[in-house]
Structures are given as structure tokens and as C-alpha cells.
Amino acid sequence: MSTSIPHDPVGWHGTTILCVRRAGVVAMAGDGQVSLGNTVVKGNARKVRRIGVGGGVLAGFAGATADAFTLLERLEAKLERFPGQLERACVELAKDWRTDRYLRRLEAMMAVADRERSFTLTGNGDVLEPEDGVIAIGSGGNFALSAARALMTVDGLGAEEIARRAMKIAADICVYTNYNVIVETIG
């Protein structure tokens, strides 16, 4: 008998989000596949968005779509309350997400980034900043993360090119990730 951990991205099938930070540029990529069980129901979903004042924050989500949109709205409200303070907005959202009876049930994860910092947010109250400038979430996240880390060692590749190549590798391996990739950049 298997049990599911509520905010465990391994159990979520249907997305790959990758955020790469290199040489003053941050690129966030998301595939377009939405799956229901073993069926692809949509191939061109937009899972990476610009939010905040002037679109200065990139946000990508994995998990239940309605839950993710609820969290995106809440993060935007936090960014309005704490302009220019991505970390504080993320911590405030994570506190609400963990303690609010309604939000606690949401099944999603988020990757967010601005010009200076990148974070992974979970319903467990985590606000995690990567050591190496690379974040990946979703069912193909570990594939994309591994590929991006390897590509970071290649001189001459920018953040967007690393993100695109790593997402292709993830799509080659993960059946829940497709080649319809949307990339947003800052910097």
C-alpha cells in the first residue's frame, strides 16, 4: 500500500518547470503538457507567468491548476503588500499556505524568481533558495535539474539556452513533459 505525501512533486504528473540563473539573466521555462491519468488533455498550457509590478517576477507552477492559480493570486497580493521584497512575500505566502485551513489543502508547488533571487515554495512551509542558481519542480523536474546542472559547466551558454536544452532533455525522458516549452527571461 502506498501513501502520498500532500506536497510531494514526485506524485504529480503533468509538468516540468525549470529556472536557471546565469550571468545576470534568469530564465524560467515550463512545458505545455497537461495530463489526466495517462491521457494528454492539453499540450500548450502556459505554466510560467510574469507577475508583480511591471512583470518583474517570474512564477512557474506544478500541481493542480486551480490550486496553482489560487497561489499565484495570493503571491501577487503579497508582492503588492511588500513591493520589491520577493523573499518576504514568499515567506508570508508560505506561512499562510501552511496555517490557513483552506490553503493547506492546495496541491501545488511554485518556482519564483526576480532579478536577484530564486525560490521554491511548497505547502510544507518551505521557501528554498538554490545554491547553484537552478530550480526545477514537477514530474520532469529532476531530469531538467540534472541536465541544467550539467549544462552550467559549458562555457558560452546563457540562461535561456541552458533552460531550453535542459527542457528538451527532460521531455526526451519524462512522459509527462512535452516539447512545447515557454520561456520567460529577466535581465
Q: Could you read off the pLDDT of 68-90 as tens digits, one per residue?
A: 888 999 999 999 999 999 999 99
Q: What is the pLDDT of residue 123?
A: 84
Q: Could you read off the pLDDT of 11-67 as tens digits, one per residue?
A: 445 689 999 999 999 999 999 998 888 888 899 999 999 998 889 999 999 988 888
Alpha helices by DSSP H, listed for 35-158, are 65-81, 86-99, 141-151
Is 15 a catalytic site residue? yes
Q: Does the pLDDT at position 6 exceed 70?
A: no
Tally of CB atoms within 10 A around 2 = 4
pTM of the full structure: 0.90
Q: What is the pLDDT of residue 100?
A: 79
CA 108 to chain centre: 10
In angstroms, rounded to a whole number, what is the distance separating the alpha carbons of residues 18 and 166? 8
* 27 CB-near residues (< 8 Å, 6+ apart): 19, 20, 158, 159, 160, 162, 163, 183, 184, 185
Q: What is the pLDDT of residue 131?
A: 93
Average pLDDT over the chain reads: 90
Structural domains of the chain ordered from first start: 10-186 (3.60.20.10)
Q: Give me the catalytic one of 15, 120, 122, 177.
A: 15
